[in-house]
Amino acid sequence: MIEFFFDCSSPWTYLAFHNIQPLAKEFGVEISWRPILVGGIFNTVNPSVYASRETPVPLKARYMKRIWRIGRARRDWRSRCRRRCFR
């Protein structure tokens, strides 16, 4: 029996899914499908991630705010452009 642990939000699951079935067929074994939440495992194994969210690095926080503002400006520009182009 092959135990196949998978997270539906993982692109690696998609790739493995298409390879595990022919492998199981080749060896004549069943697949035991085991859904998991990889993000939950990461948070359990490395709780310092939560601590870093509470006290972010100032330079990184400034960078993320800047990226967010640039993204918002681009979305606003696209929506204004669409309104003008498709009237």
Read off the pLDDT of residues 73-82 as tens digits, 9 standing for 90 and up: 777 766 766 6
**Structure confidence at residue 49 (pLDDT):** 73
Per-domain residue ranges of the chain? 2-85
DSSP-derived pairing of the beta strands 31-35 and 2-6: parallel
- Cβ 13 vs Cβ 7: under 8 Å: yes
User: Taking Cα atoms as reference points, which of 31, 35, 43 lies closest to residue 7?
Assistant: 35
Nearest to 3 by CA among 29, 42, 40: 29
Q: What is the pLDDT of residue 78?
A: 67
What torsion do the CA atoms of 74, 75, 77, 80 make, to the nearest 10 degrees? 180
- pLDDT tens by residue, 14-57: 889 889 999 999 999 999 999 999 888 888 888 777 777 778 78
* Residue ranges of E strands in 1-87: 2-6, 31-35
Q: What's the predicted TM-score (pTM) here?
A: 0.51
